[in-house]
Amino acid sequence: MHNTLLLFGATGDLAQRYLFPSLLRLLGDGLLPEDFKVRAMALSGHDTAAFHAILGPRLKQAMPQAGEELVRSLLERVDYRSVDLRSPESIAAAVRELADRRCVSYLAIPPALYISTCRGLALGGALAAPHRLMLEKPIGHDSHSAREILDAIAELIDEERVFRLDHYLGKAAVQNLLALRFGNTLLEAVWNRNHIESVEILVAESEGVDGRNAYYARSGALRDMLQSHILQLLCLVAMEPPASLEADRIRDEKVKVLRALRPLDAAHAAHDSVRGRYTAGTINGEPVQGYQPPDDSGIETFVAVTAHIDNWRWAGVPFHLCTGKRMAERSTRIVVTLKPVTHWLFERPDRATATPNRLTFQLQPQENIELGLMSSLAGPEWGALELQPLELELSVPTGLHRRIAYERLLLDAFNGNPALFVRDDEVEAAWAWIDSVSDAWQQAQLPLQPYPAGSWGPEQARPFLPTAFEVGKHDGYRPA
């Protein structure tokens, strides 16, 4: 197990809110080595004592139940260096003395700084075997920039020692998709175009762009969420059964899905996609402002795309992908709608108005599995020919301890387990499809559609929202 974390971007929001609290939990559970050490690095001109003064209160805020002794134990393992991330020499000087330890370098910094930082790590001896490298998404902002980063890093470190994060893959509920799909005959038997009508994936956020203006103005919802989180969910839903749970066997199947995605073209852009931006509205009874990018660019905060996977299993099945900020509530869910029964026997409802069977995986904020059936048990007595919808729900027990995604991913990187990380060809395949969407929008001059904060997105996006989602209770409409 590696015993040293070189953390770049240590003063940033990601490190302060998630990474250091994750380390605190791992330390408290006895899962880190006795000689574990963190070198925190950023541009800010602090010394170690000043950095501790900033980090200590943040740790107590994140984990109020953590005792003073535990917090102090972590702080004693953390020292701080001010570095210029554009200068490989500055980085090399900050890490060289630790190169004789087993280091994992975590780059919680903008992707534009990846190459210079990695060159500095290599210059300081911190990328040679057995050292490892962790990279936050996104890897670039399009295929060209991603390829440039991938090629530059490949010259400095072997692929098997690079751990590219998409933190969604560290979520227990997301990992459970593999267990449900491949551990249950009932699901695998119907998991194809013969039985499935459509698949809808929604990642809705009630939060806005606040505090991320500079980054978001360059990425938007397409590159920030669809390129990473939603495509990862798509892969887990659509992939073929891997030969084993070995990391590369799983990643091989995910790459096949991404390469089978039909590129979006300008002729279908208006029909198969919607892009929007939230205006002023209300969230949880509080008024919020609309989003205005700092450079007045045409960047979107909402995107919905119908994707098609051109292979034998999924030919003809639409995958409706939707994500947005300032939506009515925070929710991540996957809705699988099954085709109607072949021959309808019942008087009421008639075949055309019968509610289809749906399997819903809710991933957050709570984990649930719901199966929508038609049953006479919910109908009137003696009404065997009259069916009504019946929801079967399997809830995850409340209070169950689950490690947050970053805890799991940090632990896997320290132990050298790459299964939940993204391979280089997976990055390239995802960007290739995202570029087709972006290019189609540009060629078709697809306009931004406004939507009020606190709603479920633009009116034009109704067909893309999960049909099992209870939209009407929030803003008066249901998706088609």
Q: Which CATH class is domain 169-475?
A: alpha beta
Which range is most confident: 114-118, 202-206, 465-469?
A: 114-118
User: What per-residue confidence (pLDDT) applies to 217?
Assistant: 74
Give the pLDDT band of residue 211 (cuts 50, 70, 90).
Answer: low
CATH 3.30.360.10 range(s) for the chain read 169-475
Give the pLDDT band of residue 439 (cuts 50, 70, 90).
Answer: very high
Residue 477 pLDDT exceeds 50: no
Phi, psi of 400 (to 5 degrees): -65, 130
pLDDT, mean of residues 186-204: 93
Does the reported pTM lie above 0.85?
yes
Please name every residue paired with 451 in a beta bridge, in sequence order, or none if there are none: 278
Q: Which amino acid is at 219?
A: S
Structure tokens at 285: 């009874």
User: What per-residue confidence (pLDDT) applies to 203?
Assistant: 94
Query: What does the DSSP assignment read for 48-108?
Result: HHHHHHHHHHHHHHH-TTS-HHHHHHHHHTEEEEE--TT-HHHHHHHHGGGTTS-EEEEE-
Is the model more confident about 389 or about 270? 270
d(CA 2, CA 400): 29
User: What per-residue confidence (pLDDT) applies to 475?
Assistant: 41
Terminal CA-CA length for the chain: 52
Helix (H, G, I), strand (E, B) or coil at 14: helix
Is the model more confident about 131 or about 364? 131
Structure tokens at 79: 């020292």
Residue 479 pLDDT exceeds 60: no
Structure tokens at 257: 């899905």
Percent over 70 (pLDDT), the chain: 91
d(CA 86, CA 83): 9
Give the pLDDT band of residue 210 (cuts 50, 70, 90).
Answer: confident
229 assigned to active site? yes
Domain 4-136 has CATH 3.40.50.720: yes
d(CA 222, CA 201): 14
Q: Which secondary structure element, helix H or strand E, spans residue 429, and what is its range?
A: helix 424-444
- Across 26-30, 136-140, 396-400, 456-460, least confident range: 396-400
Percent over 90 (pLDDT), the chain: 65
User: What per-residue confidence (pLDDT) applies to 469?
Assistant: 45
CATH 3.40.50.720 range(s) for the chain read 4-136
Residue 25 pLDDT exceeds 80: yes
Contacts of 342 (CB under 8 A, 6+ apart): none
Q: What letter does residue 335 receive in the DSSP assignment? A: E
Query: What does the DSSP assignment read for 238-268?
Result: HPPPPSSS-HHHHHHHHHHHHHHBPPP-HHH
- Across 121-130, 289-298, 419-428, 431-440, least confident range: 289-298
Name the catalytic one among 229, 343, 401, 474.
Answer: 229
Helix (H, G, I), strand (E, B) or coil at 296: coil
Q: What letter does residue 468 receive in the DSSP assignment? A: T
pLDDT, mean of residues 199-227: 86
Give the pLDDT band of residue 295 (cuts 50, 70, 90).
Answer: confident
Contacts of 21 (CB under 8 A, 6+ apart): 58, 59, 62, 63
Helical pair 231-238 and 172-182, crossing angle rounded to 10 deg: 20
d(CA 205, CA 301): 10
Helix (H, G, I), strand (E, B) or coil at 324: strand
pLDDT, mean of residues 444-471: 82
pLDDT tens for each residue of 319-333: 999 999 999 889 999
pLDDT tens for each residue of 221-266: 999 999 989 999 999 999 999 999 899 999 999 999 999 999 999 9
Residue 396 pLDDT exceeds 70: no
User: What per-residue confidence (pLDDT) applies to 467?
Assistant: 59
Report which of 224, 263, 261, 262 is spatially closest to residue 239, judged by C-alpha positions.
Answer: 261
User: What per-residue confidence (pLDDT) applies to 346?
Assistant: 72
Give the pLDDT band of residue 64 (cuts 50, 70, 90).
Answer: confident
